[in-house]
Chains A and B, each alone.
Chain A
């Protein structure tokens, strides 16, 4: 226990400590804080406005559970990325192994460090939303106990689950040379499996069309991650498994706490057995004893891009962080739409289901696909100490930046394309496809992405983090790189809000349907095009200037 605390403290302080000579940037911190607060408030606003109505419908418990579910899934994603890069593919592993500390202590310390690093990410969305919901629907005091308990422990559950599923993933990946890429592929297969199982279950359920209503739909959705449903029922003091509701509420709390304990014990046991051998396996490379290939010559731009790509995908940590979006965005779009799928069958929903479905897909596409482009946001930082080559080679710096921008655009473009394809297929499957809107969505998210890439690369060039030892440092705790992401998220939320607002306004005031969102999005697409143009000019104007300021 003492060693666990010591190690956790050391890991955290070395993570949050700035590299020597780096100035603490208050303005960046402020911008990040303000944008996060705006995003959080936008989420909360919905519940302030509609909390009362949800209370009357009797679905506050279900909504609460679903918000926790959202936090859980988000943490599952970030946690898995964190575990891969910070625990399994980290350069300090061998050193930590040489310390007189048991491997499972090292493992738990690192897990704790990841938790501390990531918990704010989910809390920023879950806490204000649930708080607003609770106040506006006048919940009992237990609701607020649940709020604090849930915001702190739901991410713990997610992290424990990802730590368990990471074990087979890493183990499988370690058989391959390109570990980073392979882990990604294995994740796709895993996600596809879960999807298939879920769809089979939900399709085989006998559905009586008449009985479907919003409450039963939400109850089904909330029951998927059952322990969080229990937690929400405890908070709202709602009867659950047992009729006598005091017992029922206590039982619900018990189920939730027991889940955490079981997960924790499972993690400890598994990490004891697997952590050390798995981690040591990572540092062993396949080495061939003879050289058989031939030289390949390319143009300067192409050779720079090849170098960028190889350095990216062959570094497990970078590969995972930069390429994860390509895999996860298309999948999450389908998952979220399918989760809401039953609702589309409700008769009252039928006329607006195309729109709800589009809004969900659009949110996912722009928030995850367009806004998060780690490849661009760390384009310069990823070079680390090898930045010295950028300075010595006789290539204009703009060309070097162009290689980075092009590579980011290729990765981002594939993400958007795959996501739009999976989005389109899902809407066709539900019979609610709107081709023109879909094309606009594609163009808009692509342009938004390209603009953010320009901004992101430029920002990273202005203030790169070159002095890193473990690759994760190049990506994490890099406030500068967070700004374009948050700007993108803010833009996505605002555009979605405008589209929804205008569509609803036209529908209810004038009875004009299926026009508002399309026209609004067309306007924003034009604006995004302008944004791309301006950001390209900005990049051109400042690349050499920022570059000249950097020293090694």
Chain B
């Protein structure tokens, strides 16, 4: 459903690439976990998939639409939650959700979808308050609801678990699972390896802009020995560091 071919990105024409020759296919029905150390290029990749960041080389298609040439059609299929928690703080939660629904052409089904998500996240009572009055986790939740209200084929989340309480994190995992099971793609970056281990169908590890490993958990284990994901991740990361020297 999402095809990434050989994309490269260097910020401000610097000599090192933030993302360097990355290729990846994401299929309907799967949750893909995107792992990597800080500054590895996860957010950069996500911003390219969502059509925010222009790139010089390579090609990305979402549901058959090229994100550069047919960006509006591609964007319509994507739901995106930023890592920076940027929101229209002056709107109420409901106004924000209505805004997102209008922009993505969602009809009256918004009510049902929003209500389901609101009660899952326990946010119903604050729905008519301004977002600036929300706590960090509540902001994260309303951003997720805004991204899901148009039932996107491709859901992209950048570190979505940050700041959520255990109960909400559990709800989010269930929502992600259900969304993938309905035939959609869920693509998210995270630093929480336990989460990745539990819910991901496939995992990719990016280090210094290069995708060094992809596969199901079993595939990765069989290639790298039977440790926990944490052991594998740390082994891969330090290996890469040594290779650089």
Residues on A facing B (Cβ under 8 Å): 21, 285, 287-300, 302-304, 306-307, 310-311, 314-315, 385-386, 388-389, 391-396, 548, 551-552
Alpha-carbon separation in the docked complex, A391 to B48 (Å): 11
B130/A285 in contact, CB under 8 A: yes
Contact between A315 and B90, CB atoms less than 8 A apart: yes
**Is B127 part of the contact surface with A, judged by Cβ < 8 Å?**
yes
Q: Is B178's beta carbon under 8 Å from chain A?
A: no
Chain B contacts of A395 at CB under 8 A? Answer: 72, 103
Asked if B125 is at the interface (CB within 8 A of a chain A CB), the reply is: yes
CB atoms of B102 and A392 under 8 A apart = no
Question: Cα distance A180–B50 when bound, in Å?
Answer: 35
Given A310-B90, A314-B130, A385-B84: A392 and B125 interface contact (C-beta under 8 Å): no
Partner of A307, one of B52, B72, B84, B91: B91
Contacts of A295 in B (CB 8 A): 94, 97-98, 101, 108, 110-111, 114
B17 interface residue per 8 A CB criterion:
no
* B35 → A minimal CB distance (Å): 23
Q: Chain B contacts of A314 at CB under 8 A?
A: 90-91, 130
Q: Which residue of A lies closest to B93 (CB)?
A: A291
B125 touches A393 (CB 8 A): no
Quick check: B88 and A386 within 8 Å, CB to CB? yes
User: How many residue pairs between the two chains, A and B, have CB atoms under 8 Å in the bound complex?
Assistant: 109
Q: Please, how many angstroms separate the alpha-carbon atoms of A428 and B116 in the complex?
A: 62
Q: Which of B47, B50, B72, B102 contacts A396 (CB 8 A)?
A: B72
Residues from chain B with a CB closer than 8 A to the CB of A300 are 102-103, 105
- Chain B residues with Cβ below 8 Å from A292 are 128
| Interface-facing stretch out of B24-32, B73-81, B180-188, B218-226 | B73-81
Indicate whether A393 sits within 8 Å of B103 (C-beta atoms), given known contacts A291-B124, A315-B90, A552-B52: yes
Q: Inside 8 A of B51's CB, which chain A residues have their CB?
A: 391-392
For residue B122, CB closer than 8 A to chain A, the reply is no
Within the complex, what minimum Cβ distance (angstroms) separates A181 from chain B? Answer: 12
Bound-state Cα–Cα, A168 to B145, Å: 41
In the complex, B87 has a CB within 8 A of chain A: yes
Q: Which residue of B lies closest to A318 (CB)?
A: B90
Query: How many B residues touch the partner, as a band?
Result: 35 or more
Answer yes or no: B107 CB below 8 A from chain A CBs.
yes
A-B pairs with beta carbons under 8 Å apart, 21 shown: A285-B132, A288-B129, A295-B108, A297-B101, A297-B106, A297-B107, A297-B108, A297-B110, A303-B98, A306-B95, A307-B99, A310-B88, A310-B90, A310-B95, A311-B90, A314-B130, A389-B88, A392-B78, A393-B104, A394-B75, A552-B52
Of the listed residues B53, B74, B91, B102, the one surrounded by the most CB atoms of chain A closer than 10 A to its CB is B102
Task: Quote the shortest CB–CB distance from A299 to chain B (angstroms).
Answer: 7
| Cβ contact within 8 Å between A551 and B103 | no
Q: B91, A293: Cβ atoms under 8 Å?
A: no
Interface 0/1 of B51-69, CB less than 8 Å to A:
1111000000000000000
Cα–Cα distance between A395 and B105 once the two chains are bound (Å): 10
Report if A551-B129 is in contact (Cβ < 8 Å); known contacts: A307-B88, A311-B91: no
Looking at the assembled complex, report how far the CB atom of B9 sits from the nearest CB atom of chain A, in whole angstroms: 11
Q: How far is the CB of B44 from chain A (nearest CB, A)?
A: 11
A297-B98, A307-B88, A392-B52 known; A290-B125 Cβ under 8 A: yes
**A552–B44 alpha-carbon span in the complex (Å):** 11
Q: CB-CB < 8 A to B129: which residues of A?
A: 285, 287-288
B112-136 at interface with A (beta carbon < 8 Å) = 114, 124-130, 132-133
- What residues on B are CB-neighbors of A388 within 8 Å? 52, 82, 84, 86
The chain A residue with its CB closest to the CB of B85 is A385
CA distance A311 to B107 in the complex (A): 24
Contacts of B128 in A (CB 8 A): 288, 290-293
Q: Is the CB of A306 within 8 A of B86?
A: no
Q: How far is the CB of A111 from chain B (nearest CB, A)?
A: 27
A389 to B51, CA, bound (A): 11
B86 near A386 with CB under 8 A, answer yes
- Within the complex, the shortest CB–CB distance from A88 to chain B, in Å, comes to 16
Bitwise, B186-202 to A at CB < 8 A (1) or not (0) is: 00000000000000000
Contacts of B78 in A (CB 8 A): 392
Check A548 against B54 for contact (C-beta < 8 Å): yes
Q: For A311, give its contact among B50, B74, B88, B110 (CB under 8 Å).
A: B88
